[in-house]
Structure 1
């Protein structure tokens, strides 16, 4: 892979090239991508979607929105750090007009959107959609679908749904948000279809990132960017866009450190116990005198959090640059933090977060509620949509259809398209609105 192709400013529908050197510096294309995501309905809905504690109304607990903004800030720093050194190494990029901030803008934008496809109620929302088809009333659809279409449903993936949101054409809006291909490439952490599942131990094969409905557009993007194809026997799979490693690292840094901080603020993790683990990350940079002058727990945590994030940004950038050649060849099978010198400390923090936060009673109880809500909403909306297509709607179905956005009220001709569209609708709901709809339907 080469950086000139990987940094393509092309957008869906372009008939002419977009050379970087001709870009207006006051309105750079990569920054336009950022603006389009910020002002999108899908991004705004993240303000009421779970990050750690579902349906929590506690002021200091992060939502998907605040998490995404923080990941974007970390990603921008990572991108700029890497971009500066890449430009020094590849001077031809400078001749084409590329600048250090381009890397920061691309990675920040992809990171901003990284959770845009996640359903309500956290990762249990993904599992709830999958289980509706695998073990619930949705099983009746299996015989009418291809293996890959069925896998999309039983293993519903927020990453693939995010790509669908960013690229899905609607009437009057061809190509979705029409983001640059460089940004879309950096967004796709798992550039493959749902099958075969985990064909290798490469980090890019851990999950999948493309529904069957988006395969043609994805192939167009991959070809434009010069991604390396790894698919066999007609399967669609590619090596990662190099900047996807930085997006992943930014997310890993934030959920490792900031979810941990939330657990402390919620009282789920003892402060003294937690500080011991954070200090291991920052022992080379901490000002002990300054730390002991901070009177309040929140201030002490904020100081350690800032140092820890800064430490891991530098570490991730260093690992990327040391392995840039392998990454460009598609020969780096790990996430950046998997090979950092703080791997043991990171794993200790994640282990505590899993035990004390993600599996705490409040989280488990509310995720159980989420399963019931999502299963019921899928059942009602799928039945209504299919009945409308078959001209067998009841009066109740007509009322249910009216709850859908206007753009979804006309059902698709293809069964798979109807199923994935309704799954996308349910996934787009906020925690609060999903709960509200559920109560209305069950009242």
Structure 2
């Protein structure tokens, strides 16, 4: 892979190549990507989607929206720091093509901003609930009418693939560089985990976006990893998007748990101090009067340390990343890997498996299962000309912007899943209550 091709400003529908040196410096195309994402309705709905504590009313807790904004800020710093080093290593990118340090930051920031845009309500349990509906629930009856890959898309409903579906909509038209950086798992749903390579951990697009995915990958010059199935090496900047997410959820979820009283403050000093031992000033820490301020101080230093280390790891392995042989996340190479694993283990034990979280996830399973059952029945009954009065009423409440009447059963089922995935936590609950006859 080469950087000039990877930094493509092309957008879907373009007939001519967009040259970096011809861009308006007051608003470069990569910055336009960020703006289009942040003004999209799908991004705004993240303000009412679960991050750590589902449906929490506590001020301290992050939603998917605040998490995504923070990941984009960290991603921008990572991109700019790496961009500076890359332009020093490959001066022709600036001298001949006009690329600037901030371009790298803008691409990573935009992709990071959108990294959770495809996640359904109720966090990762929402993804699992959709998959369970098709594996063992009411949706299993469709298995024999679908191809293996179509059925796998539904059984392993993936927020990353759904995100790619969202950000490739005609009204967004993001640059191929941003789309490439977003594609965390550049493969289709089957074969499942064919290797231990980080790019094979999950899948990144539905069969409905297969052709578009191929076009983007080929235009960017991503390396093809399989001759029999669609599978590519990652866009190098994807590693920075992933690192930004890993840094934020590791450190900030931990911070949320402490502020909520689920984790003792002493754990923060014990585990984070091992990461920031070279930058912490004990006097500054102990002079802070509130727990929230003290934890915020530790969090800021920890994020800064991990940003700098991620940049060093990326540049050390840049050639392996370009040739597709770097096979793990950047933080897997961190000298603080043991501390990071300890922090994540504490978060799992104290936060993700807390009674409040589990209770809300159980409720989320029931809500999503009910919505999928009612909507798929109504959509398919209507397509087959067998809609009941109840089905007609249900269809009236579905958005006209999504094609629920497609000739393909797969596309109809995926449309329902896509619609449910776009619901905020509160909207999903409201729809569930309406279906259950609870209107007040």
Shorter-chain TM-score range: over 0.9
Q: Residue by residue, what CA displacement relative to the aligned partner does 1:317-336 show, whole Å, maximum 9, x if unpaired? A: 00000000100000100100
1:274 deviation in Å? 2.7
The residue correspondences of 1:118-157 to structure 2 (distance < 5 A) are 118-157=119-158
Shift in alpha-carbon separation, 1:409–1:228, aligned structure 2, 3 A: closer
Indicate yes or no: 2:222 matched with 1:227. yes
Partners of 2:328 and 2:372 lie apart in 1 by 36
**2:303 matched residue in structure 1:** 309
Q: Residue by residue, what CA displacement relative to the aligned partner does 1:266-288 show, whole Å, maximum 9, x if unpaired? A: 11001112321111111110011
Partners of 1:426 and 1:239 lie apart in 2 by 31
Partners of 1:331 and 1:265 lie apart in 2 by 41
1:289 deviation in Å? 1.1
Partners of 2:42 and 2:214 lie apart in 1 by 24
**1:65 matched residue in structure 2:** 65
Deviates more, 1:270-279 or 1:357-366: 270-279
Aligned with residue 343 of structure 2, among 340, 349, 353: 349
- Decide whether the 8 Å contact of 1:186 with 1:243 is kept in 2: yes
1:73 deviation in Å? 0.2
Indicate yes or no: 2:78 matched with 1:78. yes
**1:182 matched residue in structure 2:** 177
Unaligned runs of 5+ in 2: none
TM-score of the two chains, using structure 2 as the length reference: 0.98
Partners of 2:92 and 2:226 lie apart in 1 by 31
Structure 1 stretches of 4+ with a deviation exceeding 4 A read none
Kindly report the root-mean-square deviation, in angstroms, between the aligned alpha carbons of the 2 structures. Answer: 0.7
Partners of 1:50 and 1:317 lie apart in 2 by 30
The residue correspondences of 1:312-327 to structure 2 (distance < 5 A) are 312-327=306-321
**2:54 matched residue in structure 1:** 54
1:295 deviation in Å? 1.2
**1:426 matched residue in structure 2:** 420
Deviates more, 1:25-34 or 1:404-413: 404-413
Indicate yes or no: 2:273 matched with 1:270. no
Indicate yes or no: 2:212 matched with 1:211. no
1:258 deviation in Å? 0.2
Partners of 1:237 and 1:273 lie apart in 2 by 41
Aligned with residue 282 of structure 1, among 276, 284, 290: 276
Q: Residue by residue, what CA displacement relative to the aligned partner does 1:78-111 show, whole Å, maximum 9, x if unpaired? A: 0000000000000110120000000000000000
Q: Residue by residue, what CA displacement relative to the aligned partner does 1:373-417 show, whole Å, maximum 9, x if unpaired? A: 000000111111111111111111111001111123651110000
- Decide whether the 8 Å contact of 1:402 with 1:409 is kept in 2: no
Partners of 1:133 and 1:176 lie apart in 2 by 30
